[in-house]
Structures are given as C-alpha cells and as structure tokens.
Amino acid sequence: MTAIPLTYYLVVAAFLLCAGLLIVLTKKNAIMVLIGIELMLNAANLNLVAFSRNDPQLNGQVFAIFSVVLAAAEVAIALAILLNIYRKYNSSDLDDLNTLEH
Amino acid sequence: MSNPAIHLTLVLLLPLAGGILTYLSGQSMVRRTALVGMVPGLIAAGMLLFMSNDSSITIRFDWLPGHSLGWQVDHVSAVLIALVYFISFLVHLFSLHYLQHDPSIHRYFAKLGFFTTSMLGLLAADHLLLVFVFWELVGFSSYLLIGFWFSQEDKAKSAREAFMVNRVADAGLLIGVILMVMVLDQPFLSELSAVSSSPLVHLAGIGLLIGALGKSAQFPFFGWLPKAMAGPTPVSALIHAATMVAAGVYLLFRVVPVLSPLVMGLAAILGAVTALMAAIAALTQHDIKKVLAYSTISQLGYMVLGVGVGAYQASLFHLWTHAFFKAGLFMAAGAVIHYFHELRHDDHEFDGQDMRNMGGLRKVLPVTHLVYLLCGLALSGLPFFSGFLSKEGILSGAWIWASQTGLWAYVVTDMAFITAFLTPLYVGRQILLVFYGEPRTVVERLQGMEPLWKVKLPLLLLAIASVWVFSAINPFNPTGWWLNAYLFSNDIFRAPEGFDYIEKLTFGLSVVLSAGGLLVSYWYFRPSRSQAYSNAGVPQTWYGRLSYRGWFMAEVYAALAKVYDALVMLSAWFDRKVIDKAVNAVGVASVVLSKAAAIFDREIIDGLVNLMAWLANLVGRLFTGIQSGKVQHQLVWMMVVLLAILLWFQF
Amino acid sequence: MTMAINKLFFFFFAAMTVLPVIYILFTGNIVRSAFALVVSLLGVAALYVLLQAEVMAVVQLLIYAGGIIVLLLFGIMLTRRLSEEGVFAGHRGVVIGALMALMLFGMLVRLILGSGLEFETAAPVTDQVAHVGIAFLTDHIVAFELVAYLLLVALVGAAFLAKKSDKA
C-alpha cells in the first residue's frame, strides 16, 4: 500500500503544526493555547510515525509513544498550573499574566 | 682746533658744564667755581669768530632716516655768540657781588649756565626744529631763573606767568615751524629762499611772527616782562635786556626771505604799536626795574618794526647796541637796589626798588651814576652815543618804507617818532629821580658797594660800549657800523634814488626829539621838585592808570583764562552727558546682546540636547514593547526570529 | 482499484484531521474547540492505521482521545465563570500570527515537496505490539523507566498543584 506518497503525510503534519502555532499565537484563552500545543505535538508524532514506516525497528513509533505519554503528563501539569492561576488572577486570559512586563 | 664740530660743542656746552660744577661743589666754593665755564668759553667763542671768518661752519647730522638736522655758525651767529658770551660773563661777575649773601647761589649759577648754553644753542642752530628745541629750553631756563626765589609766592607766580605766555606764543611758532619744515620744505635757516605768496606762506610767516612776538614781549604778549622783574636783577640784565628777548628779533631776522609782504607789514605795525604803548607805560612807573622793563619792550618794538619795514640790518645793529646799554642800565639799577638792601637790610617793609625812596644817589654811588648816565643817554638816542646810530637806521627805514607803501603806513612812522620823543622823557625822569635832587631816604656811603672786579668793571665796560666809538667811526652816520661789512657784506638798506632827503630829515628830527625829550623831562622832574615825588601815588587819570597798569595786560590775560576755564567746563559737561551716555548705551547694548545669547543657548542648544534625549526615549519605548510580559507576544517575536534564520539559511 | 480506495481513505481521514482544526481556528467557542480537537485526533489515529502503525493508533486513541480531552474539558469547566463570560474567547494579533504561520507552512511545504522523500517498498512489520514491547524493555529500557518515573512525579505534582489552598 504505497500508493500514498510520504510527502502527503508530511504536508498534513506541516499543516497541523502551523495551525497549532497559529492557535498558540493568537488565542486569548489559555485552554485554547493548550489545544494548539496538542495539535503541534500531534503533528510531530505524525511525522515520526510516517518516517518509521521505513524502519524495521519501528523506532519512530516507539519515540512517538513516548511523546504521547509525555504529552499527557504535560497537559496534567499545565492544567494544574492554570487552575492556580485562575484562582489567583480570576481570569484565564493570557494577557492578564503580565507581571513580568517592563 | 682742527675739528669745528668739537669746537662748537665746547663753545655751546662750557657754560652748562661750569654751572653744574658750581652747583655740585656747593655754596661755599662759588667764588672759585662760578667762572670756570665762562672763561674758557669766552676764549673759545673768540676763536670761533676766527674760525668762521673765511667760511661759515656748517655741520649736518642725520636725525631720522631721510631727515637731517644741522648747525651753522656764519658771521652773524659768531658775532652774536660772542655778544652773548661777553654779556653773560659780565653778569656772572656782577652776580657774585649781588647775590653774595644768598644761600642758594650755587643753584643760581647752575641755572645761569644752563640758560647761557640754551641761548648759544639757539644762535648756532640751523634747522628750524633745533631752533624750536632751544627756543623752548631758553624759555624754560628763564622760568627757572625768574623764579629763583620761588619760596615767595608772588615771585613763583610771575615765573609761571612768564613761562605760560611764552608757551601760548610758542604754539604759533610751532605751527610756523611745522609749515616751514613739512609743507614749504625749507627747514634750514641757511637755505631759505624766497617763496611765492600763497596762503600757506602767509600762515607760516604769521606763525613764526607770533613766536617772535611772545619771546620778545610784543603786543599782545608783553604782559609777562614787567612781571619777570621778580627775578634777581642780574638775571634781568642778561635775559631781558640782551639775550633772550632778542631771540625773537634774531628769528625774524633769519626768516626774512620767507616773510611775505603781508607778514612784514604786520610786524611793522605791531612793532610800532608795542613801542608806543610800552613807552607810554614807562612814563608813570615807580619801580626802577619796571621802567627798564617797559623800556626793553619799547626798544624791542623798534627792532621788530625795523624787520617789518625791511631795514633788518638796522634791527640787528640796534639789537647789538641795545644789548650793551640796556644790560648796563639793568646792572646799574641792580647796584642801586643792592645798595638799599645793604643799607636797610633790617627793615623788611622798605622797598629797595621804589624810586620814591631814592634820590640824590650820585653822591654815594658815583660809578653807578656815571654808567647810568652814559647808558641812559645812549637809550635816548642822543648823537655821540651808540643808540642814536642804530635807532636812526630804523627810523629812516620806517619813513622810506612808508613813502613806498602808502599813506596809511605813515601811522607807523609817526608812532615810531613819537616813541623817539617819549624814550628820552622816561629816561631823563628816571635818572633825575634816582640820582639827583635831595635824598628822599637818608643815604650814606657804604663800604664795598662798588668793588672793582665784580661791579665797576662790568658796569664801566658796558658804559663804554654805549659810546659811539665802539660802534662806528662817524657818530652821525647810521650806516657806518664797522660790523656792517662783516655781517651784511655791505648790503645795507638804503633809500632808493630820490629819497635821500628822508635820511637827512630823519637825522634832524631824531636829534630834535631826543634833545627835546631830555629837556622836557628835566623841566618836569628838576631836582628842586624831587622832594615832592616821594608822596606821588598811583595816577588817577584814565590815561595815567592805563599807563601805570601796563595797559591792563595782566587783567586781559586773567579774562582770557576765565574764558578758557569756561571752555573746559563745557567740554567736561559734554563729556559727561554725551560721551558717558554713549558709553552707557554700549554697556546696555552688550547686556541685551548677552541676554539674547542666553536665550539662544537655552532654547536652541538645550533644545537640541532635549531632542536627543527624547529620541532615545522613543527608541527605548519602542523596544520595550517587546518585553510586554505577555507570553503570546514573546512567542510571536520568537517565531519572527526563527523564520528569519530559516529564511536566511534558505537563501 | 486498491490504490484509489487507499487514496479515498487517505483524503477522507486527512479531511477529518484538517477541517476541525480549521474550525478551531475560526471559532471562539472553547468547548466546541475541544470536541473538534477530539475529532481531529481521531482522524490522526486513522492516519496512523493507514500508515500501518497499529500500536500508535491505539495509544493515540486511548491517551489522547480518552484522557487528554477529558482533562481539557475539566479544565474548561473549572476556569470559567459560565454565568458571566460563557464559553467564548476571542483572539488577537491574528495578522502577525497568520503571517508567521503561513510563512512557516510555505517553507515547510517547499522543503517537503522539494526533498524527494519516498516510502521504501519494504514489507510492513507484522507483529507490531510484540515488537514495540520488546523494544521498550530492551533497547529503550532507560527511557521506559524514566518515563514511568516522570509520570509518577507529574501525577503527584499535578495533584499537589491543583489542590485548593488552606487559606481561602
């Protein structure tokens, strides 16, 4: 089943990456930013898996599995931090977190 | 004596050197040191006569590049130098007697030497600037001598006045000299040539004339000479009879070639006017020296008149004769004054110069009386005396000139002849009042009043010189001066064809006038009336007062001084109001300017600096936008940079 | 024929991945974005299957679609005052962000299409689960252990962080 060239998958992955980046850069809500981050992670995983098709050791997949696990941990912690922030600043707008402003 | 320059220097400087030596060696040594300079100098002057006999001694030296000064001793200068030396020598002798008790006598001889040197320098100078220098020196040394007793206020004031009036006249002289040297380019007396009559020539001539008028005490500058009698009498004998006052006439004599007819006419008029005015003033004076002072002014007027009418040789002749008899008269008067000082030295109220206190002195001062008589008769212009010969020349010259010039000129001639009548009048008055009649003050013969060497010798020498023999062989011929040939190469002022009757007429007229004057004076002041004179006071009539006060010249000077003061006040006011205001305005303007500069500095310069700061601030604010503290912004910037790097690697 | 079906499957699942993402980009509704994310992740899982990566597909489904989305939804609920703000959130700075994203996409696509990468025609691995399991415990044992440890730390840490403070 090599009818679909590799580059198609790569393009999809690229699209996911850029879309996730866009979401991260532009959305006001912190949760939306997290969504964006997930999308970017997925794009990377897709890339990895696509390339592991050529690999008899399936290193790409292994790596991708690790990546997923780490993504899960990261989301958990991020949400915990967000909860704290929400309790303190009463808002989940990222622009309100500007105490480091010059 | 090979080098004439050295010889001339000796001749000129010996009197000064002698004077300084006398001053330095002090009062006690005066008797020995006073004549140290004069005796060798006299000998040297005699040698100078011989040296300049064949050809004039001319010495030129460079002063500034392109300008040279010079000395010249021709016949006239040599003769006059000898004259000055002779009379100065006699005055030195007489002064040793006259001032024997004076504590500052050494200072006196120093000043006398200084004066003699200055006068000699004036006679020997060739360049007009040199003449001017010595002219001023002579004026200054005469000031020193007149003010010898300067501790007395009025004497010091008289000396100042003499000097100041001279200085005013010297302004005119300076103008004349400058014009001659710079504009007319005739700086050397020996090289003067006739010039055309342009306004500048008139001006130069008038300037020189004014200088001569001041020095020779002519109208309107004669106010100082009577006042100058405040000095010691020997000084008056030297300066105001024989030498300094003759300097003006000498100058005129020298510059005759460049005097235009206008200036000559002016000189004639002024000379005659002065002669008349002074003779009138001499008629009423009570001070013995003042009579002689006015007489000097009058005779100098004759000399100036002589130059003005063109008979300048006669003027020089008159200068020569006048030097002898006037010096003799002054020294004899000095002997009289000294006698009275010795007689009444304990009485300080007694005026030894007032003729009202004199009378009958011929018994106690016989030699003095004889000298006075001889010199006085010479002054009167009586034949068989020197004064007659020289005055003759001037009188006939005036007549001839008037006949050629015009009817108005006869006023001048008439004034001269009237003066010729008045002169014997005041001379006779003086002789009669002093020596004849009953003594108005008790007199007695005193010892040592007429010592041989110091008094008798000078007096008699001068008296003898006043007799005709030593001037001319023929007592009646005014042109027979034996120095005529030597001095003028026989170029005598003679009447043109058809006018010799004038000379004869003048001869007759002057004899009549002088004899007549003496007779009138005898009748008026005859010895039997002498006692009444002691009570004579100041004249009360207007003409009497005019004469007695010397035509009020002193008052005229005072009024002029007030005018000058007013001018000074005016200029001071101007300076205060106008010039100071201008200066203040400049100050204010500079303050305004400085304030403007401050504003400029504040606004513009500081503004520029502020602009820089604002720009930096702006840029800073722009870049702090990066550090917004907002995560997404920072992410955007990260992406920007990342993309930039990627793009750079792509291309 | 098989190829055409493969292509059809691919484009369908690619669309299932991409379109929800586009929806997320344009909407402001957070909850709906979360659900769209689920759909997208399902699509990715399907793409994994197409890539014959069965293990990965299952892992993706389990963890992403099952766990992470639930966490996200919990997070949404806990951090919004639903009575006041609702579930809408806007966006800002779109222009510059779009510019960046587009530029990046353009570069990547150019790179990809110009690189000439190809699948190799090798036979796919048959027993993938066993393969992956053995790989975990032999080649990547260290990573495996560390990840386990990390998971523990993350669990404990998140629980601690999310705890309500006593001072409230």
pLDDT tens digit sequence for B68-99 = 888 888 888 888 888 888 888 888 888 888 88
Average pLDDT over residues B607-636: 83
User: What's the confidence (pLDDT) of residue B398?
Assistant: 86
CA distance B74 to B54: 9
What average pLDDT does the segment B227-249 reach? 82
Chains that touch A (3 or more CB pairs under 8 A): B, C
Among B314-318, B351-355, B400-404, B535-539, top mean pLDDT goes to: B314-318
A100 part of contact set with chain B, CB < 8 Å: yes
Say if residue A49's pLDDT is above 90. Answer: yes
pLDDT for B488 equals 66
- With 70 as the cut, is the pLDDT of residue B469 above it? no
Model confidence at B502: pLDDT above 90: no
The pLDDT of residue B1 is: 44
Q: Which residues of A touch B624 (CB under 8 A)?
A: 102
Helix (H, G, I), strand (E, B) or coil at B477: coil
- Out of A35-44, B417-426, B505-514, C101-110, which region has the weakest mean confidence (pLDDT)? B505-514
* pLDDT tens figures, B260-291: 888 888 888 999 999 998 888 888 888 888 88
Please give the CATH topology (third level) of the domain spanning C1-115: Four Helix Bundle (Hemerythrin (Met), subunit A) (1.20.120)
What span, in angstroms and rounded, lies between the C-alpha atoms of C162 and C159?
5
Chain B: residue nearest A29 by CA? B632
* A1 falls within a domain: no
User: Using CB atoms and an 8 Å cut-off, which of residues 28-47 of chain C contact chain B?
Assistant: none
Question: Tokens 């997070």 correspond to what residue?
Answer: C75
Q: How many residues does chain C have?
A: 168
Partner-chain residue, chosen from C64, C79, C162, that has the shortest CB–CB distance to A68: C64
CA distance C22 to chain B (A): 20
Tell which residue, B200, B181, B179, has the closest CA to residue B189.
Answer: B181
Cis peptide before B220 (omega within 30 of 0): yes
Measured between beta carbons, the chain A residues lying within 8 angstroms of C100 are: 21-22, 25
Q: Is C98 near chain B, with CB under 8 Å?
A: no
**Amino acid identity, position B135:** W
Task: Say whether residue C107 is in contact with chain B using an 8 A CB cutoff.
Answer: yes
Percent of chain B residues topping a pLDDT of 70: 90
How many domains in chain A? 1
Where in the sequence is the domain holding A86, given as residue range(s)?
6-96
Which of B631, B635, B641, B642 should one mutate to test binding to chain A, selecting the residue with the greatest count of A CBs within 10 A?
B631
**Segment B416-445 mean pLDDT:** 82
Determine the pLDDT at residue B453: 67
Segment B508-544, tens digit of pLDDT: 888 888 888 888 888 777 777 666 666 667 777 777 7
Put simply, whether C70 touches A (Cβ < 8 Å) is no
- pLDDT at position B76: 83
The per-residue pLDDT for B479 is: 60
Is B649 in CB contact (< 8 Å) with chain C? no
Nearest CA distance, A28 vs chain C (angstrom): 5
Q: Average the pLDDT over each of B48-52, B190-194, B516-520 and give the range with the smallest value.
A: B190-194
Say how far apart CA A96 and CA A101 lie, in whole Å.
Answer: 10
Question: Taking 70 as the threshold, does the pLDDT of residue B137 lie above it?
Answer: yes
User: pLDDT: is A43 or B461 the higher one?
Assistant: A43
* pLDDT tier for residue B448 given thresholds of 50, 70 and 90: low
**Which residues of chain A make contact with B631, given a CB cutoff of 8 A?**
94, 97
| Both tokens assigned to A68 | 């997923």
Put simply, the answer to whether C107 touches B632 (Cβ < 8 Å) is no
Query: Distance, in angstroms, between A97 CA and closest chain C CA?
Result: 15
Which of A14-28, B235-249, B531-545, C111-125 has the weakest average pLDDT?
B531-545
Q: Which of B646, B648, B649 to mutate to test the interface with C (most CBs of C within 10 A)?
A: B646
* Contact status of B646 with chain C (Cβ, < 8 Å): yes
- Cα–Cα separations (whole angstroms), residue A79 to A74, B394, C77, C88, C162: 9, 149, 11, 19, 8
Give the residue from C95, C103, C111, C112 with the most B CB atoms within 10 Å of its CB, the best one to mutate: C103
Q: Are B429 and B355 in contact (CB under 8 A)?
A: no
Separation of alpha carbons B601 and B618, rounded Å: 24
Across B572-594, average pLDDT: 88
pLDDT over threshold 70, residue A102: no
In A, which residues are within 8 Å of C50 by CB distance? 1, 4
Separation CA C99–CA C93 (nearest Å): 10
Question: Average pLDDT of chain B?
Answer: 82
Q: Which of C51, C94, C154 sits opposite A77 (nearest CB)?
A: C154
Q: Is residue B167 predicted with pLDDT exceeding 50?
A: yes
How much is the ipTM here? Answer: 0.88
> Lowest-pLDDT range, B21-25, B372-376, B547-551?
B547-551
Of A27, A46, A72, nearest to C89 by CB-CB distance is: A27
pLDDT reported for residue B447: 65
The mean-pLDDT minimum among B2-11, B563-572, B587-596, C97-106 falls in: B2-11
Per-residue pLDDT at A1 exceeds 60 = no
A57 in a structural domain = yes
- Is A101 part of a structural domain of the chain? no
Question: Which chains neighbour C (Cβ–Cβ under 8 Å, 3 or more pairs)?
Answer: A, B
CA–CA distance, B77 with C156 (Å, rounded to integer): 144
Q: How far is C105 from chain A (nearest CA, A)?
A: 6
**CA atoms within 13 Å, Cβ hemisphere of B432:** 22
> In this structure, which amino acid lies at residue B253?
F
Range B69-95 burial, b when 16+ CB lie within 10 A, else e: bbbbbbbbbbbbbbbbbbbbbbbbbbb
Look at C51 and A9 and tell me if their CB atoms are within 8 Å: yes
Report yes or no: C108 at the A interface, CB cutoff 8 Å. yes
* Angstroms from B637 CA to nearest CA on chain A: 10
Q: What is the pLDDT of residue C77?
A: 81
pLDDT at C121: 66
Residue B125 DSSP SS3 = strand
Q: pTM score, two decimals?
A: 0.63
Residue B551 predicted with pLDDT over 70 = yes
Chain C residues with CB inside 8 Å of A15's CB? 18, 21, 105
CATH number at residue A78: 1.10.287.3510
Higher pLDDT: B367 or B351? It is B367
Residues of chain C where predicted confidence (pLDDT) is lower than 50: 168
Percentage of the residues of chain B whose pLDDT score is greater than 90: 5
B403 close to B494: Cβ distance less than 8 angstroms: no
- 3-state SS of B379-438? HHCCCCEHHHHHHHHHHHHHHHHHHHHCHHHHHHHHHHHHHHHHHHHHHHHHHHHHHCCC
CB of C104 less than 8 A from some CB of B? yes
Give me the residue spans of the domains in chain C. 1-115, 125-168
